[in-house]
Every structure is written in C-alpha cells, then in structure tokens.
Amino acid sequence: MPVLETIRIDGSTGEGGGQILRTALAVAALAARPVEIVRIRERRPIPGLAAQHLTAVRALAALCDASLEGDALGSRELLFAPRGPVRAGSYTIDVGAARKGGSAGAVSLVLQAIAVPLALARGSSELRLFGGTHVPWSPSFDYLAEVWAPTLARTGLAIGLELEISGWFPVGRGAVRARIEGRAGAPPSPVSLIERPPLGRIEGHALAANLPAEIPQRIADRARKLLEPTGVPLAIRPERVKAASPGAALCLVAHHDTWRAGFDSLGAPGKASEVVAEEAAHALLAFEAGTAALDRHLADQLLLPLALASGPSRFTTETATGHLETCAWLLAELGVARVVLEPRPEGGVLVTVEPRGLAIPHGEPRSTPHVRAAQPEPDEGERVPRRREHRAAVEVGASHGPPPPAPIPWNLVATVHAQAWREALGVLGRYGKVRKTPYYNVVVMAVDDPRAVAEDLARRIAAEPGLMNFISRVVPLDAALELGPLEQAEERLFAAFLPFLPRLAGKTFHVRVHKRGPGKALSAHALERALGERLLRALEAAGTPGRLAFDDVDLILVVEIVDQRAGIAAFDRDDRARFPFLRLD
C-alpha cells in the first residue's frame, strides 16, 4: 500500500469523549489511512482509554490489520496505521479481556464502531461480543436492535442482532451475536426525513435481571399509566432475565410509520422502579411534544453512514447535542463530509449531510474461520507499549465464549454481638448462609436481594426491637468488586461509584470506608478523602455540582472492605431512618 500522510486529531475537541476515537478510527479503517489521536477523552473524569475504548481500538485494528502505538488502558495518545483494507470475517470481541478482572464496558459502542466498516466490506461477517449490554452512558441492546439497526436498514446497511444474555454494571458478561452483510462498492442510501410521521404505537421492555418479578411489573405499570394519554396502542411488557449481576431498565420505542425513536432508562441502587419508568416515558413524551423526526441519540449515530452515502441527506432532530456537534466537526476535519446544523424556528435542528466521496479500498473476506479481536491487558511494565504490529489471535473450531461468571462471594456485611452469636445466626440465617470472616464478629452473606433483606429485617426489628441485642450492624450492598493491587483500589472504587453520579447531582454527601484488612498500605481516611474529591470533580465536569458535608447529608456513600473484596452502597436520609442497623458514621 502507498504511504499516506497521517491525520492528527485532537481528542479534547467538542465533547471530548470516546465518540471522537471510535469515529476517527472507523474512517481510518475504511480509508486504510493512518490517524493519530492525542488528548484522548480529555474532558472525561477519567481521561484516556478505558476498557471499552481499548476494545474498540483493537477490534478495528483486527479488521484492517493495523499496527498500533499507545493501545493500553489510560493511554491518551494513539497511532492507528491500517496495513490493508477492512476484511469481512468471523470475529469474537470481549470487552472484559481488555482489563484484568474484567469490565462491564458497553458492547453497543464497540459494535457501532465496527459495524459501518464491515457493512461496506466485501462479504458477510459474524460477530460475538461480550461485555455490558445495558450499562450507563451507552445505548442499550434494545435500542440497537429496535431503533439503530432498523434505521441503518433504511440506508441499505443490513445488521442482524441477537441477545444471548444481558450484561449489567458492574460485572458485564453479557453476550450479543451480530451478522453484518457487506455491500462493497455500494454506498449507503441517503435519507430525507424532515417531517415526522404520526405516532402509531409504543412498544417497550421493562427488564429486571436477578431481581424480584415485582420490579419489571412496577416499571411497566407506571410507564403505561404515563403514556396512556397519547391515545395509541401500548405494548410494554415486563420481563425477568438472568445475568451475572442485578440490573433493571426500561426501553421504549415510538413507532412513526416505518421510522422509530428510542428512549432508555436504567435502574440504579436505591432508584425506585417508578423513577426508571418516569425517566424513559418523560423523554418519549417530550420528543412527541416537538416536531423533530429523529431522537437526539440516533442523530449523531447516523452521521457516519450518511457521510458515506451516495448523495446528500437531510433530517430533523430534537437538539444539537455535544455528540452531534463534535461528530459534525470531526467528519469535516477528516474530509469525509460537510455537516450543517441549522436551528429551526419551531424548535429542533435541521441536519444536512453532504458526502465528499471517501475512497474505500476493498479486500477479500478472511479465510480463517474465527478471529478473536481482543487481547488481555499488558503487564504493568508495558501499559503504554511502543509501536507494534497488531496481530489478532486466531481460533479455529468451536465458538469462543467468555469464562463462566465467577460468583460474587458476598453482598451483605454484618457485625454481630459476640455473646449472642447463636441468636444472631438465627436472625440472619433465614436469608442465606452466614459466613464468618477472620475479623472479630464480622460476617458476610451472599443473598439474592440485599435491599429486600434490609427491608424485611427492618420490619422484623420494628415488631421485635430486641433483635438489635443480637446484631450490631448490617449493611446491604449494591455492588461488589475485587480490589486488585492496592495501588489500583482507589481507581476501581471510583469507577464503581460513577453510576451513582445522577443521584449525587446537586446533593450533599460524604464517603465512609470500613476496612478489615488488607493492610496498613490502604488508609481508610485517605481513601474517603480521595473518593469524595474525585466524585466532586466528576459532578462538576458533568455540570451538576454536589457538595461534601458531614452533618445530615443527603447521601452517604459506603465502602465495605473485607480483605481483597469491597462492596459499595449509597444510603439517603430515608434509608438511614428506615434501617436502624446501618450505623454508617
């Protein structure tokens, strides 16, 4: 291949997130042109490549046999140099393989990064992706299957999706199959959608993984009540699913003739089922109150395929989000298309996409039956490796899958009175096996629903206050994780608390760490201060500042450490009043 000049992109431009990385590398892979990205995710609370971004980098590199420099967790600079055109084939992509201890990084964002290059390649591709399917800051699998893929089909890009198992934060381990039919030499068809067709019906899934059946039912019931005034048929069904960790979500789809708009909401620790329903339903109703044709998320997700289309496209959307503006800038910077965003007098934005005719070379489909486009995180000594050729591991024969989920050893911590061990065992034992730890009077349990245990225990204590003579403290946990090396404990705990940011917005809070082990090298006080300060900065970066306080705070964030495992939870004033056994401060 001829040597081409490397394009240099500043990853801090605009919204400064992972979208710049994924879109720039997709274009580089399509055009077989090297690109260098600096200041990657500079505007995020944790800059640099996270597991999901690193997986997308390596997956795209596998498609075009690219050489890489800087492909490591935390890296803020990357050089991506394709060694050939994108080639269709059979690929396995595991987000969890990018980081020791696994990751719940979004498979949806990885799939969106590689889907358009493969859809414009020669031949069909079979994909298996492992990771988070319903996780924060990304479209859910349901959105991909019910909104994104059908919309791409309108442009001629055929993508079939199947959910094998859902994956939720913080464990992930979901699995998705995808089949992409390549159409080498035939660019996508342009789109013209200015006026939105009338609303015909609303469909949705209220999902709950490893949670009681009442959870998805409450979500579905509340959503139906909120959406009844639309006057259209509603088909919102509750569904319980199995997964490696608990989770809940509502995914709504508004059907306008053959076009669709999607609205997701995720559950979170302490978030009522009705609130999950209200978030998605209110977003749908706000969309319907306007005149835009495409929802705000679909608008930026469509820019790349429309930038490669056979002619100009025009559509309307709710607003010019930071993602939309940044993607428009990037496509112009890469010379792929001119994108114009024009505010409309009646509200919303008119988007015009004028392709520049990107030249796309085509290669033959891969002959190897199976390419695993994921690599384990390098050892500590080579976290930001020097430039090297990317070589995808090849597996022949049986289909690859992730290792079976490791059971979380505990999700509830309790302290019992030494003189009343037998009585305490009777109080707690009805909820599951009580296991002693090496620490004085501290026990742990693995229960199906820690919050439900706390609720039931509170009811029993209200009826029999004397039960508190046997147990000193009980803390139900929202998530549990391995601490890993002690120098990484702060980073892992901060990442685990990120999904709590919406609850902390505008609120007072502080962090409490209760540590049993793993040695003096990890200071509970220093960890409390560091986590509190980092969460404050993350809230400020999101435009929803909070405040650290210690008297009558809105929320207390709790970290329970027993040896090399930690559990986290958040308790508001109502929780602290309702559960007399928490004793957090």
Q: What was the pLDDT predicted at 384?
A: 40
Q: Report pLDDT digits (tens) over 549-564.
A: 988 999 999 999 998 8
Residue 405 lies in a domain: no
**What is the pLDDT averaged over residues 396-401?**
32
- Write down the mean pLDDT value for the chain: 89
Residue 535 lies in a domain: yes
Whether 244 and 166 map to the same domain: the answer is: no
Residue 502 lies in a domain: yes
Residue ranges of alpha helices (H) inside 482-566 are 489-497, 501-504, 524-541
Look at residues 289, 323, 348 and tell me which one is the last residue of a structural domain.
Answer: 289
Give the residue from 457, 562, 566, 552 showing the smallest Cα distance to 519: 562
Instruction: Measure the CA–CA gap between 516 and 198, rounded to whole angstroms.
Output: 60
Whether 75 and 18 map to the same domain: the answer is: yes
Give the residue from 316, 342, 296 showing the smallest Cα distance to 195: 316
CATH number of the domain within which 494 lies: 3.30.2130.30
Residue 302 lies in a domain: no
Give the residue from 52, 75, 61 showing the smallest Cα distance to 25: 61
Whether 85 and 111 map to the same domain: the answer is: yes
CATH number of the domain within which 113 lies: 3.65.10.20
Q: What was the pLDDT predicted at 371?
A: 63
Confidence of residue 206 (pLDDT cuts 50, 70, 90): very high
Whether 571 and 519 map to the same domain: the answer is: yes
Look at residues 259, 289, 319 and tell me which one is the last residue of a structural domain.
Answer: 289
Q: What was the pLDDT predicted at 400?
A: 36
Instruction: Measure the CA–CA gap between 321 and 327, rounded to whole angstroms.
Output: 10
Instruction: Measure the CA–CA gap between 64 and 498, rounded to whole angstroms.
Output: 34
Confidence of residue 45 (pLDDT cuts 50, 70, 90): low
pLDDT at residue 389 greater than cutoff 70: no
Whether 162 and 228 map to the same domain: the answer is: no
Which residues does 422 contact at the CB level (< 8 Å), separation at least 6? none
pLDDT at residue 512 greater than cutoff 90: yes
The residue type of 107 is V
Q: What was the pLDDT predicted at 84?
A: 94
Residue 146 lies in a domain: no
Residue 299 lies in a domain: no
Q: Report pLDDT digits (tens) over 231-249.
A: 999 999 999 998 998 999 9
pLDDT at residue 380 greater than cutoff 80: no
Q: Report pLDDT digits (tens) over 136-148.
A: 889 999 999 999 9
Whether 177 and 231 map to the same domain: the answer is: no
**What is the pLDDT averaged over residues 154-178?**
94
Residue 329 lies in a domain: no
Q: Are 257 and 150 in contact (CB under 8 A)?
A: no
Whether 117 and 242 map to the same domain: the answer is: no
pLDDT at residue 385 greater than cutoff 80: no
**What is the pLDDT averaged over residues 366-380?**
58
**What is the pLDDT averaged over residues 172-189?**
95
**What is the pLDDT averaged over residues 488-498?**
90
- What DSSP string describes 258-301? TEEEEEEEE--TT--HHHHHHHHHHHHHHHHHS--SB-HHHHHH
Q: Are 424 and 431 in contact (CB under 8 A)?
A: no
Pairing of strands 434-436, 388-389: unpaired
pLDDT at residue 348 greater than cutoff 70: yes
**What is the pLDDT averaged over residues 176-198?**
95
Terminus-to-terminus CA distance in the chain, angstroms? Answer: 65
Least confident of 185-194, 252-261, 264-273, 290-299: 264-273
Q: What was the pLDDT predicted at 66?
A: 96
Q: What was the pLDDT predicted at 485?
A: 84
Q: Which of 205, 323, 370, 514 is catalytic?
A: 323
- More reliable by pLDDT, 378 or 533: 533
Whether 175 and 31 map to the same domain: the answer is: yes
Whether 176 and 227 map to the same domain: the answer is: no
pLDDT at residue 378 greater than cutoff 80: no
Beta strands in 95-230 (DSSP E): 124-131, 158-165, 174-181, 192-193, 201-209
DSSP state of 568: E
Q: Are 15 and 43 in contact (CB under 8 A)?
A: yes
Least confident of 184-198, 323-337, 338-352, 396-410: 396-410
**What is the pLDDT averaged over residues 168-193?**
94
Instruction: Measure the CA–CA gap between 547 and 582, rounded to whole angstroms.
Output: 23
pLDDT at residue 423 greater than cutoff 60: yes
Q: Are 214 and 335 in contact (CB under 8 A)?
A: no
- Helices first, then strands: H and E counts in the chain: 15, 28
pLDDT at residue 127 greater than cutoff 70: yes
Q: What was the pLDDT predicted at 184?
A: 92
Q: Report pLDDT digits (tens) over 299-314.
A: 999 999 999 999 999 9
Confidence of residue 376 (pLDDT cuts 50, 70, 90): low
- Give the 3-state secondary structure of residue 318: coil
Q: By residue range, what is the domain housing residue 1?
A: 1-89+99-126+155-184
Confidence of residue 3 (pLDDT cuts 50, 70, 90): low
> How many domains does the chain fold into?
3
- Is 323 labeled as catalytic in the residue annotation? yes
Confidence of residue 398 (pLDDT cuts 50, 70, 90): very low
The proportion of the chain whose per-residue pLDDT surpasses 70, expressed as a percent, equals 92
Q: What was the pLDDT predicted at 395?
A: 31
The residue type of 350 is L
**What is the pLDDT averaged over residues 534-548?**
92
